[in-house]
């Protein structure tokens, strides 16, 4: 049985022909909290761990022909519940070479 890519990533898809895995963080606290989550080492590590698992040729859910993820995207969103507005920021994460080709 094949796993859905969303089991590893909060979001994923193709950008300019490249398969991208995304980690999404949501904050209702403040824009500062949103920025903290965007830049937190824990967030980056979480995304890189998901990418490493995805790229692992021995991952039990791997299907021949699945694309290798060479970089990911962290998206952090602040929702101002009172104003009904949101702010979205993002940053690219390049995958270390040893993870880009599998473990």
| Domain of 66, in residue numbers | 5-100
Domain count, the chain: 1
Kindly tell me the number of DSSP H helices and DSSP E strands found in the chain. Answer: 3, 4
**Residue 85 burial by CB count (10 A; 0-12/13-18/19+): exposed, middle or buried?**
exposed
Q: Per residue of the chain (103 residues), what is the pLDDT tens digit?
A: 344 554 689 999 999 999 999 999 999 999 999 999 999 999 999 999 999 989 998 888 777 888 999 999 999 999 999 999 999 999 999 998 766 654 4
Model pTM? Answer: 0.83
The SS3 call for residue 75 is strand
Q: If we measure between CA atoms, which residue out of 21, 3, 24 comes closest to residue 12?
A: 21
């Amino acid at each position: 049985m094949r796993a859905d890519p969303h089991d590893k990533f909060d979001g994923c898809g193709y950008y300019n022909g490249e398969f991208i895995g995304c980690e999404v963080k949501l904050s209702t606290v403040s824009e500062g909290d949103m920025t903290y989550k965007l830049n937190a080492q824990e967030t980056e590590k979480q995304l890189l761990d998901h990418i490493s698992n995805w790229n692992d040729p021995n991952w039990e859910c791997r299907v021949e022909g699945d694309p290798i993820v060479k970089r990911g995207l962290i998206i952090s969103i602040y929702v101002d519940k009172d104003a009904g507005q949101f702010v979205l920021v993002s940053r690219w994460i390049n995958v270390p070479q040893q993870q880009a080709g599998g473990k």
